[in-house]
Structure 1
Amino acid sequence: MKHSALDVSDLSIGYKSISICDNINFQLQKGELTAIVGINGIGKSTLLRTLGNFQPKISGSIKINSKDLEDYDPLTLASKISVVLTEPIASKNLTVQEIIALGRHPYTNWLGKLSSNDLLKITAAIEMLELTNLKHQKCHELSDGQLQRVLIARAFAQDTDMILLDEPTSHLDLYHKVQILKLLQSIAHHTQKTILFTSHEIEMAIQLCDKMVILDGAKNPFEQPCTLIKNKAFERLFPSDTVTFDSAMGAFRIQK
């Protein structure tokens, strides 16, 4: 029997006892790129933070490789899941290579000494994200797009089965949004990592993702993009007098 890399069942998320989204159910497999989409305030980032164990769930079940999330100790969980949040990095005075090396923290000894294997993982991440020419630059010298690639490289260097990213394309222009999402797709498909990210780029996600979770506060459908289109799931996202979804084109249209 094939086990899911991530299994979310009857999940309710929110803060303390106040739920902001209920009835969340989906299962992800290795090698899949999946987007979480929905309107502002519906709980996309809260869901991602809950899955990464940065805040507690209200109810329901989250299983990583068939084991409950809360049963993992922090160090073991850090070897299973890497997370890229929207918070700024602690020190932009570090070099690109130094930031990426931080991804090896779960595997180093108490002195933080890097082994030959750690160095190989760091080099592989730098090459995968095409950062070789930037590895000695300070992070404050980078563009937003370059810094985003550095943070993804840090997560890749952590060498986890799953990578969670909160709005990885925010503040980027169209070209760099596409570049980042195609890169994530390539990493998922070629390294068999499970990658889950939140996004407002719904049309790009439809074109590039294997699966999508639509947080709508009700059924929260989860499926392949083509199935979601067929089931008219995107047409219920926004008020129809403002924005409509063209299922033939897989795109939104502004009502004039």
Structure 2
Amino acid sequence: MKTKENHIALEATDLSIGYKSVSICDNINFTLHKGLLAAVVGVNGIGKSTLMRTIGNFQPSISGTLKIKEQNVVDFTPLKFATTLSVVLTEPITSNNLRVQELIALGRQPYTNWLGNLSPKDILKVNEAIELLELSELKHKKCHEISDGQLQRVLIARAIAQDTDIILLDEPTTHLDLYHKVQILKLLKSIAHQTLKTILFTSHEIEMAIQLCDKMLILDGLNNPFEQPCKLIENRAFESLFPSDAVRFDSITGAFRIQK
């Protein structure tokens, strides 16, 4: 692992997120360095997707600061932002008639000329992403001809092809079976560590994130703790995540137990 702890990639300070002037989650603070895989977890409706949209500059924050490489997000030009940060959200795509290879190639748009012609480097990045996500057999299929799980891998490949320092993924393991959930998260961790990209994703797969992530942000609407998973377990941060009469977190096994 090549992580350089002195290189800050993404930083939130006293961040409040929401819509218009209505905040849904306050007091969000975290610092992510280069080469880390990090997860955002929390109950439904707490603001995980809203945080992704705020970091991705799709909507403004209510208050606080959000910086990429020590520069305020709102100060980036659109082109600079597109070559620095890539995003995969949960919204359905509008390009179902594109072939898989064509959709992945859209990740290269920030680098192509006004005609959208792909250079040899662009083609290389697209092919690398196809290989990484094991999509070679699907690359000529149209997006409406593949499963939801396969499409999820295609969208991740598009973000990889965009070749940005920071990658945001909202629920990247949605529609995937257990094997492919693990495979995708292990791949993302390998990419982060080997290429020094910073990858932040939201997930309901809390136990899996505990095992694979370098850092985790728990959105609880109060303190929103951010730390290494082992530190969060030591601090009993997971124990109040869900109502205790339904599930209980076992700090020894790092798993949730159903209360019968």
Structure 1 equivalent of residue 210 of structure 2: 206
Structure 2 equivalent of residue 147 of structure 1: 151
**Are 1:134 and 2:138 an aligned pair?**
yes
SS at match of 2:115: coil
Structure 2 equivalent of residue 103 of structure 1: 107
Over the aligned positions, Cα root-mean-square deviation in angstroms equals: 1.1
2:42 to 34, 38, 41: 38
Contact residue 12 and residue 22 of structure 1 kept, 8 A: yes
1:17 to 21, 31, 48: 21
Deviation, 1:175, is 1.9
**Are 1:165 and 2:134 an aligned pair?**
no
Contact residue 152 and residue 174 of structure 2 kept, 8 A: no
Q: Distance in 2 between matches of 1:122 and 1:177?
A: 22
Moved more, 39-48 or 184-193: 184-193
SS at match of 1:8: strand
What letter corresponds to residue 161 of structure 1 in structure 2?
D
Q: Distance in 1 between matches of 2:134 and 2:114?
A: 30
State the percentage of identical aligned residues: 75
Moved more, 101-110 or 179-188: 179-188
Structure 1 equivalent of residue 239 of structure 2: 235
Deviation, 1:170, is 1.5
Contact residue 217 and residue 227 of structure 2 kept, 8 A: yes
Structure 2 equivalent of residue 125 of structure 1: 129
Deviation, 1:132, is 1.7
Structure 1 equivalent of residue 93 of structure 2: 89
Q: Distance in 2 between matches of 1:118 and 1:178?
A: 29
Q: Deviations over 1:144-171 (max 9, x none)?
A: 2221111111001101001001111122
List runs of 5+ in structure 1 lacking aligned partners: none
What TM-score does the superposition give when structure 2 sets the normalisation length? 0.96
Structure 2 equivalent of residue 3 of structure 1: 7
Q: Distance in 2 between matches of 1:186 and 1:149?
A: 16
What TM-score does the superposition give when structure 1 sets the normalisation length? 0.97
What letter corresponds to residue 38 of structure 1 in structure 2?
G
Q: Distance in 1 between matches of 2:137 and 2:35?
A: 28
1:115 to 116, 119, 124: 119
Q: Distance in 1 between matches of 2:218 and 2:241?
A: 8
Q: Distance in 2 between matches of 1:120 and 1:175?
A: 28
Structure 1 equivalent of residue 63 of structure 2: 59
Contact residue 36 and residue 213 of structure 1 kept, 8 A: yes
Q: Distance in 1 between matches of 2:184 and 2:143?
A: 18
1:76 to 56, 59, 80: 80
Q: Distance in 1 between matches of 2:101 and 2:174?
A: 23
Contact residue 163 and residue 196 of structure 1 kept, 8 A: yes
Moved more, 185-194 or 68-77: 185-194
Q: Distance in 2 between matches of 1:183 and 1:242?
A: 33
Contact residue 44 and residue 215 of structure 1 kept, 8 A: yes
Contact residue 7 and residue 34 of structure 2 kept, 8 A: no
What letter corresponds to residue 239 of structure 1 in structure 2?
P
Deviation, 1:200, is 0.6
Deviation, 1:173, is 2.1
What letter corresponds to residue 111 of structure 2 in structure 1?
Y
List runs of 5+ in structure 2 lacking aligned partners: none
Structure 2 equivalent of residue 191 of structure 1: 195
What letter corresponds to residue 13 of structure 2 in structure 1?
S
Number of aligned residue pairs? 256
Deviation, 1:2, is 2.2
Deviation, 1:191, is 1.6
Contact residue 37 and residue 188 of structure 2 kept, 8 A: yes
Contact residue 97 and residue 144 of structure 2 kept, 8 A: yes
